[in-house]
Structure 1
């Protein structure tokens, strides 16, 4: 069993306005302690860029 787990994900341009969606979840002893899903504030040009932006935001929140 892991004490602390974190995961993030992004969906690249899943709507007509070209804005991607990102989210993350933090778990402590298998129970969720923080999570968020939101639209990214900047327009990304690839799936990789959207995913990297999402993990960057999750990293900032974990600190």
Structure 2
């Protein structure tokens, strides 16, 4: 089964958040550096993942992204 580039990067972002979510949000900049993805592209991907209900963003100084767990 082949995945599109967008799907691969989306999965990589989800895994990155899952692995580094130690009770605090994961910063966009940290995901960008670890996954070597441009910031605008990563912002688009995370917006899609947020719309799908897979991640949620937390605003503010200590904000970032976390998995949207029930």
TM-score by length of 2: 0.29
Structure with the greater alpha carbon radius of gyration: 1
Relative to its length, the structure with more helix (as a share) is 2
Relative to its length, the structure with more strand (as a share) is 1
